[in-house]
Amino acid sequence: MPLPTPEQIWYQRHPLGLSLIPLGWLYCAVAGLRAHAYRRGWLAQARLDVPVILVGNLTVGGTGKTPLVLWLVTFLRQRGHRPGIVSRGYRAAATTAAADPVPVAADGDPAWYGDEPLLLARRSGVPVVVGRDRVAAARLLVRAFGCDCVVGDDGLQHYRLGRALEILLIDGQRELGNRRCLPAGPLREPPRRLHQAQLVLRNGLGDNTWPGLRVQPGAAVRLRDDCTRPLAAFAGRRVTAVAGIGHPERFFALLRGQGLAIDARTYPDHHPFALAECARWPPGPVLMTEKDAVKLRALLATAVGADLVAADLWYLPIAVVPEAGFVTRLEAALTRLQTDYPRFVPDPAARVGPSPRLPAASGPEVDDVAP
């Protein structure tokens, strides 16, 4: 009998989870004590002279933090701020080979910077820095790029970096799972931590407790030439859907909700794709997440024979739109921060216009995507 997956233990209440409860209690206790030590000042916390705004979650796996970070930095720029983004750079060679934090080049290698930081650098229009030491990375953003605020992509549990505002994102479908800490459940901290964040947002429909977050898909983009197609152009065709993210089912559900019949292929989060496995995908269009496309684009640019594989590979960029109630609370919180941080003052000259639109359909006729 195969062992149950974490998904089955954490979200489907597999009985094996009961045997892991004592370990979950221990994990919760240690995490709670550590957080308490930072709050009481027993462990040193670094404070910057600009506000640090952290976007994080309590659970292991994806909740949609990266699209929310992109929305947030655009919102800050529209107010006249100069934000920068700090990220750990999961599995990034730069964070192991370099002792100091490293600015992310938008045309760089995802193996060096990490897939999510590279995506953020390409989409956000603001400086992104990766490093094992988030404090040093945040200071570099302020010192080298003149940022008047720092947005942390994840890092909610990295308490050494002091924060002025926490935005906690929860999965609107799975929520907190069985509400147990690792390894018995998906939580990195006890459930009560949810009520200590200043702002909480629910990925999905909001309710009486938390406002919601709506996902807005753009047009599909072909990797080989950036040609774009509306998702409706893929209806009635055999479509392979590929996702190597924290919660692949959310991506698959989005495609099905757009009327597509898909052959879903799930890969681990941050999966390093190989040309051989891409060649095994069935004929016809392949739709993937933008995060996966960051890695595939780099692979296809260097691999021999990649032009044959790349012929029908597409990715789907998405944007998120928080409910008005969240935006109102965020605006109030940012206004309060201006009192505590003199440098955090909107500069009319730094304001950008409305959020850039997602790619619209363009290019050759849609029979390009026929199987």
Q: pLDDT-based confidence at 61, cuts 50/70/90? A: confident
The per-residue pLDDT for range 226-246, each reduced to its tens digit, is 999 999 999 999 899 999 998
Give the per-residue pLDDT at 367. Answer: 38
- Radius of gyration in angstroms for the set of CA atoms belonging to the chain, rounded to a whole number: 21
Tokens standing for residue 141: 């953003």
Q: Residue 293's closest CA among 278, 308, 276?
A: 278
Q: Running DSSP on this structure, what letter comes out for residue 233?
A: G
pTM of the predicted model as reported, rounded to 2 decimal places: 0.92
Those residues whose C-beta lies under 8 Å from the C-beta of residue 89, and which sit 6 or more positions away, are 95, 113, 114, 116, 117, 130, 131
Q: pLDDT-based confidence at 368, cuts 50/70/90? A: very low
Query: Is-contact 150 54, C-beta < 8 A?
Result: no
H/E element holding 280?
none
Domain ranges for the chain: 6-213+322-350, 216-319+359-369
Q: Going along 37-148, which residue ranges are E strands?
A: 52-56, 83-87, 102-103, 128-130
| pLDDT for 53 beyond 90 | yes
| pLDDT for 369 beyond 60 | no
The per-residue pLDDT for range 193-224, each reduced to its tens digit, is 999 999 999 998 878 889 999 999 999 999 98
H/E element holding 222?
strand 220-222
| pLDDT for 362 beyond 70 | no
Q: Which fold has domain 6-213+322-350?
A: Rossmann fold (3.40.50)
What percentage of the chain's residues is helix, strand, coil (to nearest 5)? 40, 20, 40
Average pLDDT of 49-78?
94
Q: Going along 46-148, which residue ranges are E strands?
A: 52-56, 83-87, 102-103, 128-130
Average pLDDT of 284-313?
82
Give the per-residue pLDDT at 270. Answer: 87
Tokens standing for residue 58: 């309590």
Give the per-residue pLDDT at 354. Answer: 67
